[in-house]
Amino acid sequence: MSSVKKYINRDLSWLEFNRRVLEEAEDTGTPLLERFQFLSIVQSNLDEFMSVRVAGLQAQSKAGYLKTDFTGYTPQGLIKRLMKRTTRMVREQYRTYRELLKLLAKEGVALTTFRDLHEDQKALMTDYYKRIIYPVLTPMAVDQSRPFPLLHSKELYLAVVLKEENESINQEDEEQTFCAIVQVPSILARTVLVPGRKNSRKLSYLLLEDLIKEHIGLLFSGYRTEAVHSFRVTRNSDLTLNEEGAEDLLQEIEKELRRRRRGLPVRLEVEKGIHSDALELLRDELELEEDMFDEIDGPLDLGFLSKFVGMLPNYDHLRYPKHEPVYPEEFDETDDMLSVLREKDVLVYHPYESFEVVNDFILEAAADPDVLAIKMTLYRVSVNSVLVQALASAAESGKQVTVVVEIKARFDEARNIAWARQLEKAGCHVVYGLVGLKTHAKITLVVRREADSLRRYVHVGTGNYNENTARLYTDAGLFTSHPSIGADATALFNEMTGYSTPHLWSSFAVAPIGLKPKLFELIDREIEHALAGRPARIVAKMNSLSNQSMIDKLYEASQAGVKIELIVRGVCCLRPGVQGFSENIRVISIVDRYLEHARILSVAGGGNDEVYISSADWMTRNLSRRVELMCPVYDPGLRLMLMNVLHMNLQDNVKARELQSTGAYLRVKNENPPLRSQFETADIPLWKSIAAAYE
């Protein structure tokens, strides 16, 4: 089999993932307002893809890079194929949007136009425009004395084409047009509620840009408006850091954040029917290739839909049923979590179980006079985080608090800098990771004085310490006081904050040096078991699989007879189901109400099952350019609990799609009773009872 056919291209695989998200918006079984939410996610996903992945390919193309990747594509060839598929997907996205608007109108909510309003409503909206919107707007003329303005990435603008109203001008001058640009202020809500008419229960909304368009003439006295259309630019948003040469990493990142606003344009979206003069101006100034231009039949940037449907009152019947995470029963009746952990390990699974348990773990440690030290890694943290406040409080009370902050977390850099400085002011020892590596591991270490010794308590997670995303992402978290895990946790923090040489881990596997070899070791053991006729099986759940050598190792295991089942939400470059090559590998993806985010590995071990949780996907960046952590689950009941979660994922025949050898995904269909794994997993007593049987 040729190397090109062995692998699926990473970026094409990503587009297939975003198409699966779009399918959730198209699915009539998905509640109406949730369908709008999925459309919004498609937009935000595509924006990031363009500003990072496509931007990187464009940079390679402009530099004359002609080599093919391991899937056989040159940057130039891949860009053309990506943009062709993206254009097709965007058309589907807006077709779905128009269909959903019709359904929403039947429910009494309409996105309308100014011209469709009654006269009294028009008067009220004009008054709103003059009072609230007009004072915020800044018209920016483009001529010889006023150069083309800096257009911020992913902001919405209006291109205005004008002619002078002076009647005395000659025929030649009359043809002259003038162009101006107006930014649609992002500080104002994108949708404006129109005051309802008497006895009407219908809710009507106007898009902010449409209201501005209707009154655009007020900004340009002495000119008449020939045309006004929306447009939007996406720029290269990836940071280029010289970490080794930076005297102060925070200052270097702040400098790069300012440069990000001036990144090279990678995509131009314009409203359908845009005036030719405006389009020519934009193309000339932005210097974009023909295939990086999209004409959109509808409002630009459907990301506004998330906030729009989120604020609609009294429409819960059009949403998923409310789900309140439960507090883990192991800690439910105690104010002393650490005493529980002295007796047993506890595993929690978000969002079905509350993230409050993690907050409480830190809060309890911060208040405990016998706790001497708290050490924690932070990657993406929510606004007003309880954890940040608890760590600051612990430091102020005299505890040794060390926080390893990853300020290079893409698009969260500014926020991370802000609360890192907040922690420093409180007396925390803040470390900004390791040069050249991102710190992506999710771990907390609490050191407590007990009797004549010290005991270490550890939390290891698969997801970020973020209260908000913990309600939307599925993630596992292990609480333990296991001695070898505690010793490894101490060694890991020493490596991240000091000059320690790589540790000989007794429990952990840590990237960038030890994680990939450990995974290879586990796979090789399964190969040996298969060849010896013993039980040999690998089940792995992750967000992405793209590392070539990992894929090759899985191919080797398949050919040795190891049964491999992969639950990969997003990118998967492995090609399953090829006879004589990968026929023992099955890959599914689940896109549903929650974002599948947990990284879990289960190996049969010849009949002695082993289960691990990890922060790492099987991508090159995770395995070789980040500090990542994989931790074993020692408790047999907890191992079975996670294996049961994996089993339910694999049995899903409602929201699961299976990857075909062609690279396409098809919905799983079989004769089994319908099983929707996310809903089944919500039945916490079911899988918690498994653990209880092994206590």
Q: Which residue has the tokens 């881990």?
A: 505
Q: What does the radius of gyration of the chain's CA atoms come to, in whole angstroms?
A: 28
Residue 451 phi/psi, 5° resolution? 55, -125
Give the pLDDT confidence score for residue 402 in this predicted structure: 94
Instruction: Tell me the pTM.
Output: 0.91
Report the mean per-residue pLDDT for the chain.
90
Give the pLDDT confidence score for residue 171 in this predicted structure: 52
- For the chain, domains (ranges, CATH) are 3-318 (3.30.1840.10), 329-497 (3.30.870.10), 509-692 (3.30.870.10)
**281: which 2 tokens?**
């101006």
Least confident of 237-241, 588-592, 673-677: 237-241
Instruction: Decide: 398 and 388 in contact? Cβ < 8 Å.
Output: no
Report, as residue numbers or ranges, the catalytic residues. Answer: 440
| Of 124, 118, 187, residue with least CA distance to 155 | 187
β-sheet bridge partners, residue 611: 602
In SS3 terms, 155-206 reads as CEEEEEEEEECCCCCCHHHHCCCEEEEEECCCCCCCEEEECCCCCCCCEEEE
- In terms of pLDDT, which residue wins out, 233 or 382? 233
Instruction: Decide the pairing of beta strands 563-568 and 585-590.
Output: parallel
H/E stretch holding 459: strand 453-461
Confidence of residue 199 (pLDDT cuts 50, 70, 90): low
How far the first Cα of the chain sits from its last, in Å, is: 49
Establish whether the linkage from the previous residue to 328 is cis, with ω within 30° of 0.
no
Confidence of residue 288 (pLDDT cuts 50, 70, 90): confident
Q: Is 631 helix (H, G, I), strand (E, B) or coil?
A: strand
pLDDT in tens, 140-169: 998 877 788 889 999 999 999 999 887 555
Asked whether the CA dihedral 483, 695, 467, 449 is positive or negative, the reply is negative
Q: Compute the average pLDDT of residues 582-589.
A: 97
Give the pLDDT confidence score for residue 253 in this predicted structure: 57
Give the pLDDT confidence score for residue 225 in this predicted structure: 92
> In 428-505, where does DSSP find H-type helix?
483-497
Q: Is 266 helix (H, G, I), strand (E, B) or coil?
A: strand
Asked whether the CA dihedral 6, 10, 12, 14 is positive or negative, the reply is positive
**What contacts 642, CB < 8 A, 6 or more positions away?**
347, 476, 600, 602, 611, 613, 633
Q: Is 125 helix (H, G, I), strand (E, B) or coil?
A: helix
